[in-house]
Structure 1
Amino acid sequence: MARVQLRRGEEGRLQRGHPWVYRTEIASIHGTYTPGDIVAVEDYRGRFIGRGYINPASMITVRILTNDRDEKIDKVFWRRRLTAAVDYRRRVLAGAGTDAYRVVFGEADFLPGLIVDKFGPYLVVQTLALGIDRFKETLVEILDELLQPEGIYERNDAPVRELEGLELRSGFLKGPFDPQVIIQENGLKFYVDLAAGQKTGYFLDQRENRAALQSLVKGARVLDCFCHTGGFSVHAAHYGAREVLGLDISPEAIAMARRNAVLNGFGNLCSFEEANVFDALREFERRKERFDVVILDPPAFVKARKALEGAIRGYKEINLRAMKLLSPGGFLVTCSCSYHMPEDLFLEVIQSAAMDARRRLRLLARRGQALDHPVLLGYDESRYLKCLLLEII
């Protein structure tokens, strides 16, 4: 087995539990290997740190699978890791009223580069790193045995695969079946397009935050910005809102949102418009529109650290505009799904927006991603979703 030796002083982050070895941290590689092979990682003195798969084409050159020198990476290993991931979800989601959840959350489940989502009786699989992609057939076989899905769909069309030197592809791994399925979430039903929807088809990480609307929206006029396929909108209607307006720039998302509202009996209460949210918020302000609750769940404005400055401007703009649409006593539900936007900085941006909007805020709750997206301490990248519940004073 080839050995990757780190530069002096680069071992601390790995010893604290971070699973990535960057190209710039490597002093030398001893032995021969093929990209995707399992290699050992050592500190500068040659002391064992862990074992993982290597891809010299990627800035993340090694992804650690185990810190146990004696643990073999074989089919028994993969079965043990997948079984642990499945068992965890069965424990934490018992009684949650959902049949859709994340089964495997990559590094947070000690399976770097692997994403598996369950949508009713179907699975969607992503292998986003070269090392894990080499084991895809074995992983799919074990998942089929453990969960016995009616079908499995591959969504390996994520651009991040290109950074690993992998081709983009999607299609049936077990099937075929109709990729437009109906899931249950918090007692509601939603259409999900496993073949063409965002990510793997639906944003499962917001499940618990959508349920948190229950105490905020009764009798309210609600504006749901970046509504996607209507998850927050339909929940708001379900929890007693008197009127819900959802906005999204995607005509496909808007069409699906309308279907989801009708599916749950809220076709008359919920309306949806195809719109650029930034433009729509300015127009609502010009017309002196007022809402009791505004929900902001934008896409990731910052996908790399170098884009942070522009993202800050974007987050401030939409939050400032939203605050101006809320009367005193109204609620703002504002989110960021960007890891590069840490929560403390996000709060600073929100506070700056409040000052410019001449509004005072009370912070009701800081929330994150759902329990099926666990945060691995030592690996900050696994804590990416921020959701703040705020009252306008």
Structure 2
Amino acid sequence: MAKAILHEGKQKRILGGHPWIYRTEIKEIRGEFQPGDIVEVYDIRERLIGRGYINPASQISIRIMTRNAEEEINEDFFRRRIQAAWDYRQRVVRESNACRVIFGEADFLPGLIVDKFGDYLAVQTLTLGIEKHKETILKLLQEILKPGGMYERNDVAVRELEGLPLQTGFIGASFDPKVVIKENGLRFVVDLAGGQKTGYFLDQRENRMALQGLVHGGRVLDCFCHTGTFSMYAAKFGAREVLGLDIAAPALEVARANAELNGYGKNCSFKETNSFDELRAMEKAGEKFEVVVLDPPAFTKSKKAVAGAVRGYKEINLRGMKLLPPGGYLVTCSCSYHMKEEMFLEVIAEAGRDAGRQLRLVELRRQAKDHPMLLASPETHYLKCVVLQVW
């Protein structure tokens, strides 16, 4: 097995539990290897740190799989890790037959994402090191979870950075990729083949419950509504009228189907529009809502784009606040890892000052429990959900 030796002083973050080793942190590699192979990682004094897979083509050259010197990366290793991940989900996921089964680094399986939707699995192998073990992983998923079918969603741009092709399709026998899941007494259509990410945003499951008690009898605006999940919860919790906005027509078709499926077709409506433009137009028209939900896509996926993201988040939050009467509620989210929680709160506070409104923090929430955060790896904490009362 080849040995990667780190530069002096570069081991601290890794010893603390972070699984990524960047190309610039490696002093030398001794021995022969192929991209995707398992290598041993040592500090400058040649003390073993752990074992992980290597890909020199990636900026993240090594991802640590184990820190146990006696643990081999083989089928039994993957069986233990997948079983542990599934055992954890069975403990923490409530009132739903859909969840994230494996969340990459947070489940000590970097580069692997597996989502369960009813009887079916959506699978992403995002790195070369995981791709090399794909057949073993798929075999074990079949053995442990016994799904009715599996669908590959390897259409993610990060694979190209690993030198991997983009590809999607059925793994084994085909099935209807549009499935209906159950979540907190509601039902949702999930398109495993064509939906965003792996078909559905599981990470907001618990945050949607924050609408309970806030929306009853009120008018609710759901911006960037996608397939209408927050809209359905608003209707479930007694909103008299819900309007969802999104720019994607296919997502809105599913949103309307979800409204009919749950019996909320009469008080939920959806409009195909740019949410930024619509918020400005509604403010000019004097529209008011008791609750405004802002759940936009990530405005930044790199440090370089943070300044632009700050402007975008400030704009939508300011506009959302202006649509609320005194005492109304704003539920605002960011799924951008580079938009840190403290920065996001400051952006919201600035929007409040510019809008001339006072803000009371009701709740500060994060991603659902099936998306656990590895404290040593801040990249696993990406979702922020802030519930505010606006005066």
Structure 2: 5+ residue stretches without partners:
none
The equivalent residue for 2:381 is 383
Shift of 1:212: 1.4
Shift of 1:7: 0.7
Shift of 1:377: 1.0
The equivalent residue for 1:65 is 65
Distance 2:171 2:67 in 1: 31
The equivalent residue for 2:274 is 276
Aligned residues: 391
> 1:108 and 2:106 equivalent?
yes
Secondary structure of 1:215's counterpart equals coil
RMSD between superposed Cα atoms in Å:
0.5
* Sequence identity percentage: 63
**Aligned equivalent of 1:298, options 296, 299, 302:** 296
**What is the TM-score when the length of structure 2 is the normalising length?**
0.99
Distance 2:213 2:372 in 1: 25
Distance 2:30 2:226 in 1: 49
Secondary structure of 1:280's counterpart equals helix
Distance 1:262 1:175 in 2: 30
The equivalent residue for 1:133 is 131
The equivalent residue for 1:287 is 285
Distance 1:174 1:321 in 2: 48
Structure 1: 5+ residue stretches without partners:
none
CA-to-aligned-CA distance 1:343-377 (integer Å, 9 cap, x gap):
00000000000000000000011000000000111
| Matching residue's letter, 1:86 | W
The equivalent residue for 1:159 is 157
Secondary structure of 1:229's counterpart equals coil
The equivalent residue for 1:262 is 260
The equivalent residue for 2:329 is 331
Shift of 1:174: 2.8
Distance 2:321 2:172 in 1: 48
Check whether the contact 1:123–1:151 (CA below 8 A) recurs between aligned residues: yes
Distance 1:174 1:86 in 2: 22
| Matching residue's letter, 2:119 | P
Distance 1:324 1:349 in 2: 16
**Aligned equivalent of 2:174, options 173, 176, 184:** 176
Shift of 1:239: 0.6
Distance 1:147 1:68 in 2: 27
Distance 2:301 2:172 in 1: 32
| Matching residue's letter, 1:55 | N
Distance 1:152 1:257 in 2: 24
**Aligned equivalent of 1:142, options 133, 140, 161:** 140
| Matching residue's letter, 1:17 | G
Distance 2:201 2:271 in 1: 20
**Aligned equivalent of 2:390, options 372, 389, 392:** 392
> 1:83 and 2:80 equivalent?
no
Distance 2:65 2:145 in 1: 23
> 1:223 and 2:201 equivalent?
no
Secondary structure of 1:300's counterpart equals coil
The equivalent residue for 1:20 is 20
The equivalent residue for 1:212 is 210
Shift of 1:223: 0.2
Distance 2:213 2:103 in 1: 29
Secondary structure of 1:104's counterpart equals strand
Shift of 1:99: 0.4
CA-to-aligned-CA distance 1:205-228 (integer Å, 9 cap, x gap):
000001111121111100000000
Distance 2:313 2:363 in 1: 19
Shift of 1:263: 0.4
| Matching residue's letter, 1:370 | A
The equivalent residue for 2:52 is 52
Check whether the contact 1:150–1:175 (CA below 8 A) recurs between aligned residues: no
Distance 2:82 2:152 in 1: 17
For residues 360-379 of structure 1, what are the structure 2 equivalents within 5 Å?
Answer: 360-379=358-377
Distance 2:206 2:72 in 1: 37
Secondary structure of 2:212's counterpart equals helix
Which shows bigger deviation, 166-175 or 307-316?
Answer: 166-175
Distance 1:198 1:45 in 2: 46
| Matching residue's letter, 2:239 | A
The equivalent residue for 1:10 is 10
Secondary structure of 1:63's counterpart equals strand
Flag as ranges the 4+ runs of structure 1 deviating above 6 A.
none
Distance 2:301 2:240 in 1: 36
Distance 1:184 1:24 in 2: 46
